[in-house]
Amino acid sequence: MAVTRNMTIAQASRSFAGDFIVRRNAYNTLQKLCEIGTRFPGTPGETRAQDFIEQHLAESGYTVTREAFTHLAWRRGSASLKVTDPVSEVLDCISLAGSPSTPTGGVSGKILFLGNGTPADFEKHKDEIRGRIVVVTSLAPSSECSPPRECHRRTKYGRSVKYGAIAFLFMNSQPGMLPQAGSTRQNMAGEIPAVTIPYEHGERLKRLLAKGDVEVVLETENENYEHETCNIVADLPGEVSDEIVVVGSHYDSHDNAHGAVDNGSGVALNLEIARAVREASLKFRKTIRFVFFGVEEMASVGSSFFAVHHHHELDKLHLFLNLDGIGQQGGKTFDTQGFTDLAEYVTNAGREFGYPLPATRPSFAGDSLAFVRAGVPTAAMRNQKGYSFFGHAVTSSGEDRGWGHTSADTIDKVNPHVFDESALVAYLLLFKAANTKGPIAKYRTDEEALAVLYEHGMGPVLDVMKWPTIPVKAMR
Ligand SMILES: [Zn+2]
């Protein structure tokens, strides 16, 4: 069935999703993308992923633009963590991205375990942190972290720096001997060395601490360097050129991870939506801009540069639809990032279609944050527990990353049918949004954008994260 603008949203989405399910294009594309391996900025894998995306878009009939930017990249070297007292023992670790090198011989000191590193944990122990090596888990317990970014790794790192820690150990909260990668800062070198350790070795440190002081020596050798990379952009022109819907996904991964779910899944879905609408010769009112961001894993660098490059038309971006980590099992909804008018729009779209799209707590996570800061109405696809069209149960609590940022984020973790649900939900919002006349939600001025972030408790978080270092609204 050909999709036309006169169809109801339900008809259009079902037709589109049916095509997706039958052809299984997104999963096949993800398989090919994952053959590249890791896609970390500055590595051959990043270059191959860029070429893959460009070629796929060109084959679908798009004119492709690479929007270059230069950022502070990072090269991993060796890392070693040794307990020297009360026992002599070597623990597993790898550096967090952005971690500086230690002086030769490492830094040594007593460790201080701060649990999950919630704001309350730091507040309670802030006077004990100076001169210590802080250990926190990767967990962000939802009852204690509002907004969730209060318990993001970079916030925990920022607080450790602020209170005078000499090093930072980030412990996976989930068993399996896997270190969970992550970055320390945006576009600047971390101030103190930082490594990530598996759950089991964190637990070992906790058992030793129960008996008294524990001393460790941490030695890291890494390199920060200037690197040019790009966002990849392709437009499907609409009937009007000054109303734009951006569908975005970051294509980079960490250097220890294939990033099948985070975010090969979002890239594959984005590429296949781009192909499907073109193949069906669909015409929308608004222009649809398909964007593939670089360097998200180093604190949303590519999306921040996108906001800088497009500063002259931010108010023409009527929606940013963020597809990140969409290969995780579960029913889908959208996090509308504190845009209450957009939340209402999304809920109504769901009602029209017969797929409940409940509001979630604003996460201000990943590439969404740069757009929110730039005032652009933003909807990020997220899991929901309440409903799934295909009966997919949610397998993650949402308080940690599951396999994300570990070497286990591989294609075998992705259920092909997850794409069916994600494609259906993404398309229903895209179809409705791209055919809406005029704004979908109110574009925010700089003051309004900041006010909403502060209203949701993001003020202290942005401050301690030192985010953004890239002037998202430089040209105002
Ligand atoms: Zn991601």
Q: Which of 267, 264, 261 is nearest to 248 (CA)?
A: 267
Distance 401 CA to ligand 1 centre (A): 10
pLDDT category of residue 476 using cuts at 50, 70 and 90: very low
Cα–Cα distance, 134 to 144 (Å, whole number): 19
152 and 255 inside one domain: no
Distance 250 CA to ligand 1 centre (A): 7
Distance 263 CA to ligand 1 centre (A): 5
Distance 251 CA to ligand 1 centre (A): 8
pLDDT for residue 424:
87
Neighbours of 281 (CB within 10 A): 9
The reply to whether 327 falls in a domain is yes
Q: Write the burial class of residue 88 (CB in 10 Å: 0-12 exposed, 13-18 middle, 19+ buried).
A: exposed
Reported as a single tens digit per residue, the pLDDT across 46-81 is 999 999 999 999 999 999 999 999 999 999 999 999
Query: Which residues lie at CB < 5 A from ion ligand 1?
Result: 262-263, 324
pLDDT category of residue 275 using cuts at 50, 70 and 90: very high
pLDDT above 70: percentage of residues in the chain? 98
387-408 average pLDDT score: 87
The reply to whether 237 falls in a domain is yes
The reply to whether 472 falls in a domain is no
CATH code: domain of residue 94: 3.50.30.30
Out of 201, 221, 241, a domain closes at 221
Distance 178 CA to ligand 1 centre (A): 18
pLDDT for residue 20:
75
Q: Which of 241, 282, 296 is nearest to 430 (CA)?
A: 282
pLDDT for residue 475:
40
Could you write out the three-class secondary structure of the chain?
CCCCCCCCHHHHHHHHHHHHHHHCHHHHHHHHHHCCCCCCCCCHHHHHHHHHHHHHHHHCCCCEEEEEEEEEEEECCCEEEEEEECCCEEECCEECECCCCCCCCCEEEEEEECCCCCHHHHHHHHHHCCCCEEEEECCCCCCCCCCHHHHCHHHHHHHHHHCCCCEEEEECCCCCCCCCCCECCCCCCCCCCEEEECHHHHHHHHHHHCCCCCEEEEEECCEEEEEEEEEEEEEECCCCCCCEEEEEEECCCCCCCCCHHHHHHHHHHHHHHHHHHHHCCCCCCCEEEEEEECCCCCCCHHHHHHHHHCHHHHHHEEEEEECCCCCCCCEEEEECCCCHHHHHHHHHHHHHHCCCCCCCCCCCCCCHHHHHHCCCCEEEEEEECCCCCCCCCCCCCCCCCCCCCCCCCCHHHCCCCHHHHHHHHHHHHHHHHHCCCCCCCCCCCHHHHHHHHHHCCHHHHHHHHCCCCCCCCCCC
151 and 274 inside one domain: no
Predicted confidence (pLDDT) at residue 1 exceeds the cutoff of 60: no
68 and 152 inside one domain: no
Distance (Å) of CA 296 to CA 124, 195, 366, 454:
32, 19, 7, 23
Predicted confidence (pLDDT) at residue 12 exceeds the cutoff of 80: no
417 and 320 inside one domain: yes
Distance 228 CA to ligand 1 centre (A): 20
Distance in angstroms between the alpha carbons of the first and the last residue of the chain? 46
Out of 166, 200, 221, a domain closes at 221
197-218 average pLDDT score: 98
The whole domain housing 39 covers: 9-73+226-465
192 and 300 inside one domain: no
* Identity of the amino acid at 418: V
The reply to whether 133 falls in a domain is yes
Out of 221, 246, 266, a domain closes at 221
Distance 322 CA to ligand 1 centre (A): 10
Distance 246 CA to ligand 1 centre (A): 17
pLDDT category of residue 418 using cuts at 50, 70 and 90: confident
Distance 126 CA to ligand 1 centre (A): 31
Distance 285 CA to ligand 1 centre (A): 30
Distance 27 CA to ligand 1 centre (A): 17
Is 421 within 8 Å of 332 (Cβ atoms)?
yes
Paired tokens of 178: 């896997």
58 and 159 inside one domain: no
300 and 434 inside one domain: yes
Q: Which residue has the tokens 């108010």?
A: 315
Distance (Å) of CA 318 to CA 55, 65, 284, 286, 287:
27, 21, 14, 9, 10
Distance 96 CA to ligand 1 centre (A): 16
397 and 439 inside one domain: yes
Distance 325 CA to ligand 1 centre (A): 6
Q: What is the mean pLDDT of the chain?
A: 94
pLDDT category of residue 363 using cuts at 50, 70 and 90: very high
Reported as a single tens digit per residue, the pLDDT across 285-294 is 999 999 999 9
Distance 87 CA to ligand 1 centre (A): 39
Higher confidence at residue 340 or residue 1? Answer: 340
State the pairing for strand pair 215-220/287-293.
unpaired
Q: Which of 22, 9, 33, 37 is nearest to 417 (CA)?
A: 22
460-476 average pLDDT score: 83
Cα–Cα distance, 225 to 73 (Å, whole number): 5
The reply to whether 4 falls in a domain is no
Distance 168 CA to ligand 1 centre (A): 23
Reported as a single tens digit per residue, the pLDDT across 151-194 is 999 999 999 999 999 999 999 999 999 999 999 999 999 999 99
198 and 240 inside one domain: no
The reply to whether 172 falls in a domain is yes
Distance 162 CA to ligand 1 centre (A): 27
Distance 379 CA to ligand 1 centre (A): 15
Q: Which residue has the tokens 């179809």?
A: 431
Neighbours of 366 (CB within 10 A): 23
pLDDT for residue 2:
58
306 and 350 inside one domain: yes
Distance 57 CA to ligand 1 centre (A): 21
Distance 324 CA to ligand 1 centre (A): 5
Is 293 within 8 Å of 303 (Cβ atoms)?
yes
Reported as a single tens digit per residue, the pLDDT across 215-246 is 999 999 999 999 999 999 999 999 999 999 99
Reported as a single tens digit per residue, the pLDDT across 99-144 is 999 999 999 999 999 999 999 999 999 999 999 999 999 999 999 9
Q: Which of 474, 469, 447, 436 is nearest to 312 (CA)?
A: 474
Q: Say which range, 199-208, 326-335, 369-378, 385-394, has the weakest mean pLDDT.
A: 385-394
The reply to whether 473 falls in a domain is no
pLDDT above 90: percentage of residues in the chain? 84
Distance 204 CA to ligand 1 centre (A): 30
Distance 93 CA to ligand 1 centre (A): 22
382 and 458 inside one domain: yes
Predicted confidence (pLDDT) at residue 338 exceeds the cutoff of 50: yes
Distance 313 CA to ligand 1 centre (A): 25
CATH code: domain of residue 338: 3.40.630.10
Q: Which residue has the tokens 């210590």?
A: 132
Cα–Cα distance, 127 to 134 (Å, whole number): 12
> In the chain, how many domains are there?
2
Reported as a single tens digit per residue, the pLDDT across 72-87 is 999 999 999 999 999 9
173 and 236 inside one domain: no
Distance 38 CA to ligand 1 centre (A): 13
Is 418 within 8 Å of 328 (Cβ atoms)?
yes
Distance 8 CA to ligand 1 centre (A): 32
Distance 207 CA to ligand 1 centre (A): 33
The reply to whether 200 falls in a domain is yes
pLDDT for residue 23:
81
Residue 322 β-bridge partners = 248, 380
